[in-house]
Amino acid sequence: MGVDLVDCTPDVREQLRLLRDVRFDYPGGVNRAPIDGVLLTHAHMGHYLGLAHLGYEAMHTHGVRAFASERMAGFLEENQPWASLIERGEIVVTEIRPGEAFEPGGGDGGSGGSGVAVTPIVVPHRDELSDTLAFRFKGPRATVLYMPDCDPWHRWQERALEILDSADVVIIDGSFFDGDELPGRDLSKIGHPLVIDTLALLGDRVARGELRVILTHMNHTNPLIEPDSEARARVLDAGFEIAIEGMEIPL
């Protein structure tokens, strides 16, 4: 079965070992394509820096596809060490277009495919090195949106709701709980939706059972990562979920 990652964090070495379909080694050899592809959201540290582990000094992969927007692809092609990964064929950049669904396909040489259609969606976020994508995965059973970074809702609420309502399950930006965890920072300049605002925006949909909301991408200051915090109880009581390692969502 094929394995495609969404984003490639600096912790990708440890993360790959958690995936049961990833095999680095086999008797008498080394697997140069432990994964088939990586779908990249954007050029911020936590989302693409782990590609370095696919390079010559580490895994030295062969032909792992890097699905990227035109701007993200250009960034990889024009900057080291990413350009060397491309030159050596460790990654193969495949440009994807917003709104155009594609099938990552896995390791079947394109014949079988994953049965999951992925649609890249451009979302507003600090875009200094690349633009930012969310991905919508449409399988036979469920449609899941992954949007780890985006601007606060009030800056783009109508469009945001359109995107959120296009899925059954949304895994979204839960960076900061509220203004209190960032003393001295101007709330209006925080480039992420606050979880308290997400509760207000999506609470009715969650309560009615129309939408499953899973919060991810928590900052280290976020009380949601503390097991016994009031913030955590409030979120869970409202029917929202908090992403955990090993969570599985069948598509």
Contact residues for Zn ion, defined by CB under 5 A: 44, 46, 149
Nearer to Zn ion, 9 or 31 (CB): 9
**Nearer Cβ to Zn ion (106/120):** 120
Shortest approach of Zn ion to residue 148 CB, angstroms? 5
Question: Minimum CB separation from Zn ion for residue 115, in Å?
Answer: 28
Q: Which is nearer to Zn ion, 166 or 219 (CB)?
A: 219
The CA distances from residue 112 to 4, 179, 223, 249, in Å, are 14, 48, 43, 21
Contact 88, 95 (CB under 8 A): no
Smallest distance, Zn ion to C-beta of residue 181, A:
17
Instruction: Please tell me the distance from the alpha carbon of residue 236 to that of residue 199, in angstroms, as a whole number.
Output: 10
Q: Give the span between the Cα atoms of 127 and 132, in whole angstroms.
A: 7
Question: What are the residue ranges of helices labelled H in the chain?
Answer: 12-16, 45-48, 70-78, 82-87, 157-164, 195-207, 230-237
Question: Hey, how many other C-beta atoms are within 10 angstroms of the C-beta on 46?
Answer: 16
If the CB atoms of residues 106 and 174 are measured against Zn ion, the closer one turns out to be: 174
For the CB of residue 210, give the shortest distance to Zn ion in the complex, in Å.
27
Indicate the residue whose CB is closest to Zn ion: 44
Look up residue 113 and give its DSSP letter. Answer: -
Least separation in angstroms between residue 205's CB and Zn ion is 24
Question: Which of 163, 33, 15, 37 is CA-nearest to residue 96?
Answer: 37
Q: Which residue's CB is nearer to Zn ion, number 114 or number 130?
A: 130
